[in-house]
């Protein structure tokens, strides 16, 4: 009898131990939850920050006018707030030609954008998209090496930490009626001789609509009129190595690092960029920054704290009808021409225009830049 009781107790203890082990295992297993199923979404890159209609993926979604630093990789500061202050009194507080307004040997040496502070910060995955139409609101493309172009028919599209090599008229184009396009930490280039305009390519980023777009920390090259928009924010971007070409009309295409054709519906801010136009005048060079009244008067433009070089004139200021143009704390470099542009530093500046401000602008060797009176 005693033996049977001991056997029963042993079995009970064994059963109790087994129950405890099973309970612990179940608790451990159920503590690792399966990902919650989100709403059904269309195709989206695996490396995107966020998929349309889905939950945000881990990591910050960039906010306008702030470096999203999605990769967390260290790098030199590129915002105007962290750059050396200019001796001028411009509204933007952009970098000056050097300490105390003295000489500056190159853009990078004085804190302006260059190849080391622009473009993607992460490894890229090749995507042979061809000329892709983007029609999904909120689409975020990150980490793509795109062989093709993006034609955007959607709102709030973000292209970040990517590269675009285009053979189309543009690298990225925003269509009328859509808004919120942001192009950040992206290289946009093309293969010379492969574009549709008699081998040429026209616009790295084109804003065909009336809404503002943002271009920041980008590396842009080859395109004739590299950044084309009436309103938007261009900052911390490096435009260089524009390639001249004869267009379909047989004429040399005019080239500008930034171009605005007037008649804009909002503010255009061009702040803390390196804008180079190395094209010779006889091959179509216009400006580093060209504000032209082609489709209406130019108004409400800020050109602050940039490094400007090249073109017929480094800056065209909008002409007689221009108003609300603030040109402050820019550096005019002689790297292509002794006077920054082939014919001079600045043209078409309307000193008497309402709200027009010219202040704190200097050459790279520290001399003040004063525009000549317009005829």
Query: Could you write out the DSSP letters of every residue in 276-342?
Result: EE---GGGTEEEEEEE--SSS--EEEEEES-EEEEBSEEEEE--TT-EEEEEES-EE--SSSTBSBS
Q: What is the mean pLDDT of residues 307-335?
A: 97
Q: What is the mean pLDDT of residues 88-112?
A: 61
Residue 85 located in a structural domain: no
Residue 81 located in a structural domain: no
Residue 98 located in a structural domain: no
86: left (phi over 0), alpha (psi -120 to 50) or beta: beta
Residue 372 located in a structural domain: no
CA distance 87 to 64: 28
Give pLDDT, residue 11.
Answer: 56
Residue 345 located in a structural domain: yes
Residue 37 located in a structural domain: no
Name the DSSP class of 308.
E
Residue 38 located in a structural domain: no
Confidence of residue 56 (pLDDT cuts 50, 70, 90): very low
**β 140-142/125-134 pair status:** unpaired
Residue 50 has pLDDT above 90, yes or no: no
Compute the mean pLDDT over every residue in the chain, rounded to the nearest whole number. 81
Give alpha helix (H) positions in 31-167: none
CA angle centred on 59, ends 53 and 63, rounded to 5°: 80
Pick from 253, 194, 195, 192: nearest CA to 228: 253
Confidence of residue 337 (pLDDT cuts 50, 70, 90): very high
Give pLDDT, residue 371.
Answer: 94
Confidence of residue 51 (pLDDT cuts 50, 70, 90): very low
Give pLDDT, residue 52.
Answer: 41
Domain that holds residue 232: 125-363
Q: How many domains does the chain have?
A: 1
Per residue in 272-314, pLDDT (tens digit) is 999 999 999 999 999 999 999 998 999 999 999 999 999 999 9
Confidence of residue 156 (pLDDT cuts 50, 70, 90): very high
User: Tokens 């050396």 — which residue?
Assistant: 84
CA angle centred on 220, ends 217 and 255, rounded to 5°: 135
Per residue in 103-127, pLDDT (tens digit) is 888 999 999 999 999 999 999 999 9
Give pLDDT, residue 255.
Answer: 97
Residue 341, Cα to own-chain centre: how many angstroms? 25
Give pLDDT, residue 153.
Answer: 97
Residue 95 located in a structural domain: no
Name the DSSP class of 52.
T
Q: How many CB atoms lie within 10 A of CB 19?
A: 10
User: Tokens 């087994």 — which residue?
Assistant: 18
Pick from 292, 288, 296: nearest CA to 313: 288
Q: What is the mean pLDDT of residues 339-360?
A: 97
Residues 6+ apart with CB under 8 A from 151: 131, 132, 133, 134, 170, 173, 175
How many helices (H) and strands (E) in the chain?
Answer: 1, 24
| DSSP three-state, residue 40 | coil
Per residue in 180-236, pLDDT (tens digit) is 999 999 999 998 888 998 888 899 999 998 899 999 999 999 999 999 999 999 999
Pick 265 or 299 by higher pLDDT. 299
């Amino acid at each position: 009898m005693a033996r049977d009781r001991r056997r029963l107790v042993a079995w009970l203890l064994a059963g109790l131990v087994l129950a405890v082990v099973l309970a612990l295992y179940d608790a451990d297993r159920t503590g690792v939850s399966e990902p919650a199923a989100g709403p059904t979404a269309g195709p989206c890159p695996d490396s995107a920050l966020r998929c349309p209609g889905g939950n945000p993926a881990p990591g910050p979604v960039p906010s306008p006018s702030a470096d999203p630093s999605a990769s967390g990789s260290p790098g030199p500061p590129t915002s105007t707030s962290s750059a050396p202050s200019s001796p001028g009194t411009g509204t933007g507080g952009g970098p000056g030609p050097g300490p105390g307004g003295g000489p500056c040997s190159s853009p990078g040496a004085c804190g302006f954008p260059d190849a080391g502070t622009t473009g993607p910060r992460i490894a890229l995955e090749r995507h042979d998209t061809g000329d892709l139409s983007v029609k999904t609101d909120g689409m975020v493309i990150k980490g793509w090496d795109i062989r093709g172009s993006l034609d955007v028919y959607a709102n709030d599209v973000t292209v970040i930490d990517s590269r675009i090599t285009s053979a189309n008229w543009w690298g990225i184009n925003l269509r009328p009626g859509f808004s919120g396009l942001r192009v950040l930490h992206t290289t946009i280039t093309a293969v010379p001789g492969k574009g549709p305009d008699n081998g040429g390519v026209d616009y790295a980023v084109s804003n065909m609509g009336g809404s503002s777009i943002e271009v920041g920390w980008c590396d842009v090259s080859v395109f004739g009129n590299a950044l084309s928009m009436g309103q938007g924010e261009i900052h911390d971007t490096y435009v260089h190595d524009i390639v001249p070409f004869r267009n379909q009309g047989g004429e040399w295409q005019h080239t500008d690092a930034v171009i605005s054709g007037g008649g804009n519906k909002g503010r255009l801010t061009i702040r803390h960029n390196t804008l180079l136009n190395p094209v010779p005048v006889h091959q179509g060079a216009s400006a580093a920054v060209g504000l032209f009244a082609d489709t209406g008067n130019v108004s409400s433009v800020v050109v602050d704290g940039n490094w400007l070089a090249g073109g017929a004139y480094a800056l065209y200021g909008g002409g007689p009808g221009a108003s609300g143009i603030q040109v402050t704390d820019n550096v005019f470099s002689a790297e292509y021409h002794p006077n920054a542009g082939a014919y001079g530093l600045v043209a078409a500046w309307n000193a008497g225009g309402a709200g027009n401000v010219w202040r704190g602008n200097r050459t790279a060797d520290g001399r003040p830049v004063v525009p000549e009176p317009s005829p």
